[in-house]
Structure 1
């Protein structure tokens, strides 16, 4: 597979638009047709599937890490924020407020801090990979369409 074909695969996976991916990968002429031809080729389809799995795994790992932080993270910085009357920008930048979903300062001068739901985060962690992502479903549909077009062109 050429460098341009690899670039096409990466761009197509990001946009879902074969014409745009072919154009940005450096193909000239009828980029719409070239993009369709590329996604119908077995080696391109296999590379798209490989990249899609890697991307999905990476996103799933990032989501799991975020849910772990929500479920098991410390609220100490948020609590210390409650006791600061006028925190500086530097104070805020040094705090881990990942667990905070909302901060309000009502007219009476007090501060309200709402946190993300730890139980929901635990439920999401427990659910794991039970449901396919929308990106995977989209890729599977595109991949199946490409195979069907390829089979039709080959008389199968």
Structure 2
């Protein structure tokens, strides 16, 4: 159980989406929100979230989380909106995770058009920001392993 709570905490920390985090830890779709709430309020999850927050407290970490959600987040709710928009209430739509949606419009003959943020661009931006996001630690260790302790061979 503790392993599930730790995994949930990590997914929730990066995605900031209760349902998605629960799905990533094995919850069934129909029980994801309830299971996510249960996991979120456990002492083990709270402790893990606190550790993660303390280790990753700068502004770039929020940028990283947003880019991670765009690059790896689910689009299920947006697809559901396309197929079932006529049967949804405003409350239903407000409860949806539409983080990856960049634009929604209704065109000509009552056709719903949804555009998503570009996952490839999000991944590229994560790659560009990687040295800043890890404080240069990973990059520095790679350079040290290739060129020697202080990169003298550069």
Per the shorter chain, which TM-score range?
Answer: 0.3 to 0.5
Q: Which has the larger radius of gyration?
A: 1
Instruction: Name the TM-score, length of structure 2 as normaliser.
Output: 0.46
> Larger relative contact order (C-alpha < 8 A, sep ≥ 6)?
1
